[in-house]
Homo-oligomer: A and B are copies of this chain.
Amino acid sequence: MKHYLKMGAATAISCLVAIPANAIEPEVNHAENIAKFGEVWVPEDRAIDQKLAELEAQHGKKPNIIYVLTDDVGWGQLGSYGGGKVVGTPTDNLDQMAAEGMKLLSAYAEPSCTPTRLALLTGRHPPRTGVDVVLWPGMTAGLVDSEYTIAELLSDAGYKTAMWGKWHVGDVLDEHLPHNQGFDFAQYSPYNGAVWSWVDDADYYQKHEVLPGNSPNFLDVPQTYFDDYGYEKHYIWEGTKGNEAVKVKEANMEAYQDIDTRRTDEIVDYIADNAEGEEPFFVYFASDAHNAVSANNSEFRHNKHVDQTNNMAVTLVEHDHNMGRILQALEDNGIEENTLVVWISDNGPMYGHSPNMGYSHLRGGKGDVYEGGIRVPSIVYWPGMVEAGQDPIDMLHVTDLYTTAARVAGATDLIKNDRVTDGIDQTALFLNGEDAGRRFSMIHYSGSEIGAVRMNSTMKVHFKGMQGGLPVMETYNIVRDAGERDANAIYRHLHWTAPFLQMVAKHQAQIEKFPNTKLDPATGAELTD
């Protein structure tokens, strides 16, 4: 227990300034915000520490943490977000989770798969880590050893750590792999294990059914692409901390059938096995539920409300069912009040996978910094700690989940002070609800460039380069026009220019001070000066 006491004490001090006392300003405007709101935040943080201390006294350990990252689910697809069965994706379990927890209406991810995973794992915008693109087979880049992942932080804070699902932050170097990045156990697909399956999937359509809206467009993709992608080489792996990873099975059609359900089986067992343990646990479930093949023979295809022409709709309903099972397992083991669960999507829909795709009412999809690419559904669930039925509009960025986990674990002082950690501690938002959020601006990276900046609940600017010495910007009132339709509004919002450019300048000055990690393109190894 000595270890925990140290953490607790450290937290109490660090929280007086709402961010780790020893850490770098996590976000360009956060220092000003601390100065502005410190009088509110300091007593608020004392009360939060008190509440967390009482919970720890009650359960004899820190809270368990379960982060579920789902894949390519669009804003508005869930019933609780105005979609559900009317768009062919009934999500009864996630809707129930939202009703019993907190539905975030302004949650943001990075615009694509690998970047969002890096952001959640490191609490940093991906370019800081040296990786700013989606990784494809053969690419050497990845999550390097010098990054301090949420799994490493929580391990150092005394947590057992485990992950299941799609890793996709590097698999060429040993240091890239989850069991070398802080996870005691990891059952993982090294990268996206689904793309090759589209071929078989389209073939499945032809064999079985052709329904309105069904376009077997993947048949047009040359087989060589999928060979290059590793159709033969690809495996599902298992790794344990300090040991070599072992192949579980080849990632073929059979391996991916109902994969979300079978990974959930293991997570449910893990919850049961660790509910009574002396140490709290951290589970990272990176659901691969967007791969179409797993739906081919799925029982969830028989749900009358599921869009039968969209295998991703089937897999989302399968995942929705599995989320219900995970929450049920927490209740069955009597630990639901000592477990923080956050469910979030990694980016918007990938329309290129039509007809097997998510959908967003908003403009753009995966890869875009328009809202359709980055505004994602997200639900926070923690009975007794997070009040039921909330739907705050406070902004949350996926990097915040890193810093918030550290706070909940009483380990904010472990956050490294030799780098920028972009995540903001949002424990106050989770525990105190709307208006307690601590993020008032966001940088939206598009690859290595800043694609857009959000200034507050209303103002968003897209940067489109320079023209005639002037910055070309698309400006939106994001409350008025969440769909970002009114692109010819620059003249109207010209007075926005200065504050946005100042914010970007500050962000870039911060990078000058703490340069982004650089990798050797040939080997993927970190370059040091």
Contact = CB atoms under 8 A, between A and B. Distances in A.
Given A212-B493, A215-B492, A492-B215, A477 B361 contact: no
Contact of A483 (B79, B86, B361, B480): B361
Interface string A296-320: 0000000001010110000000000
A87 interface: yes
Given A85-B393, A361-B362, A483-B361, A477 B212 contact: yes
Contacts of A477: 212-213, 307, 309
A87 B359 contact: no
Nearest to A393: B86
Interface residues of A, number: 39
Contacts of A84: 391
A478 to B, nearest CB: 9
A525 to B, nearest CB: 44
B76 A82 contact: yes
A213 B359 contact: no
A82 B82 contact: yes
Interface in A84-104: 84-88
Given A82-B82, A86-B106, A361-B76, A310 B480 contact: yes
Contacts of A458: 212-213
A213 B86 contact: no
Interface centre among A305, A362, A391, A458 (most CB of B within 10 A): A458
Contacts of A310: 480
Interface string A128-145: 000000000000000000
Contacts of A106: 86
A319 to B, nearest CB: 19
Contact of A480 (B79, B88, B481, B482): B88
A246 interface: no
A106 B87 CA distance: 11
Given A212-B459, A361-B361, A479 B307 contact: yes
B359 A481 contact: yes
Given A213-B481, A305-B393, A359-B480, 12 more contacts: A76-B361, A79-B391, A82-B82, A85-B391, A86-B105, A86-B391, A86-B482, A87-B479, A213-B493, A354-B486, A355-B480, A361-B362
Interface of A: 76, 79, 81-88, 105-106, 212-213, 215, 305, 307, 309-310, 354-355, 359, 361-362, 391, 393, 458-459, 477, 479-483, 486, 489, 492-493, 496
